[in-house]
Amino acid sequence: MRYFRQVILVFFIFGSITTPIHSQTVVTSVSNAELSNSSFETPDIAFGMFQYAPAGSDWNFYLTAGISDNGSGFTNCNPNAPAGNQVMMLQNDGSVSRGVPIGSGNAAAYRVSIKAAQRGCTNSIGQTIRMLFDGAPIGMIRPVNTTYQTYTTAVYWLTVGNHTLKLEGTVTTGDNTALLDDIRLEKLPSWSQTSTWQGGVIPSVTSTVNIPAGFAVALDATNCVGRIINTDGILSAPLNTNFNLATECVHVKPNGLLEIGQEGAPYTATGK
C-alpha cells in the first residue's frame, strides 16, 4: 500500500458512535538530524569541473558517481546547486554510501529528503535512484525534470548504533545521470511520545486525532488508538516496525497522506 489521499479508511469499530470527549493534535514538527557534508562541498572541486570518486569526503563513491561544481559538463544545462556550489552526480549504475550513527536516546523513525534533478544535457531516458538503509530499500526517486525539487523516502526505524545509507543509480541503458544535493536525515515524532501531542497527552479511544498540514507522525510498535483520525499532514508506518492502530476511521484530507510503504520500498513488518 503506497498511500491514500482523500479517502476514509475504516479500521476498527469500538461500538456505538458517541460524542468525542476531547481532541488531540500533533504539535511536534519533523526535525533535522545532523548529517555532515550533506551538500557535497567537500572535497572542493575546481570551478566548472567534476570528478569521479573523489577522495576526502564523508561519502564513499563507486563506479560513475562523483561530485560536480556548477557549470561543469554535467551541470551546465541545469540551475546552480540548491545548497552551496557542488552537487553529487549518479551516472548509470554509479552509487554512493556513508555511515549514519544513531546515538543513545535517538532511536526513532527517520526518513531521508533530497533535492534532485535530471541532468539537463545528454541524458538518454533519465535516471532513477534507489535509496537504502542497511541494504533495505526505503524509496525509488526519479526526478521529474531538470529543476531541483525535494523528494522524500519512506520512513524507517533506526536503532541506536551505526547504519549505512546508500544511493544507487538503476538505469544502465544509454547515458543517464541524476544530480543530487542537500540530503537531510529527518526524525519524525512517534505516536507513543507524550511530546508529540498538545498538552503532552497521548490520544485515547475517545479522542479525535488531528494531524495538521506540515506535520507528520510515525506509528510505532505500541497500541495507537483514537476514535477518529483526521490528517492534513502525514501519518506513516516505518517500513521495518510493527504497529497496532485501533480507530473507527482515518480521514485522509485532500492534502494529507497515509503512507505504509512506497513504490520499490514495501512495508515489511506487521501492521494491524
18-22, 86-90, 98-102, 245-249: lowest mean pLDDT where?
18-22
Predicted confidence (pLDDT) at residue 3 exceeds the cutoff of 70: no
Q: Sort strands 207-211 and 95-102 into parallel, antiparallel or unpaired.
A: unpaired
Quick one: pLDDT at residue 21?
54
Predicted confidence (pLDDT) at residue 18 exceeds the cutoff of 90: no
Q: Kindly report the pTM of this predicted structure.
A: 0.90
DSSP string for residues in 176-233? -EEEEEEEEEEEEPBTT-GGGBGGG----TTEEEEE-TT-EEE--SSEEE-SEEEESS
In contact, 54 and 61? CB cutoff 8 Å: yes
- At 162, is the pLDDT very low, low, confident or very high (cuts 50, 70, 90)? very high
* CA atoms 238, 240, 246, 247: torsion sign: positive
Quick one: pLDDT at residue 4?
43
Task: For 19-58, write each residue's pLDDT tens digit.
Answer: 545 789 999 999 999 899 999 999 999 999 999 999 999 9
Predicted confidence (pLDDT) at residue 6 exceeds the cutoff of 50: no
Tell me what the mean pLDDT of segment 193-212 comes to: 94
Round to whole Å and give the CA distance between 211 and 244: 18
Tell me what the mean pLDDT of segment 187-191 comes to: 97
In contact, 204 and 225? CB cutoff 8 Å: yes
CA 79 to chain centre: 23
Question: Average pLDDT over the chain, rounded to whole?
Answer: 92
Task: For 204-261, write each residue's pLDDT tens digit.
Answer: 999 999 999 999 999 997 889 999 999 999 999 999 999 999 999 999 999 999 999 9
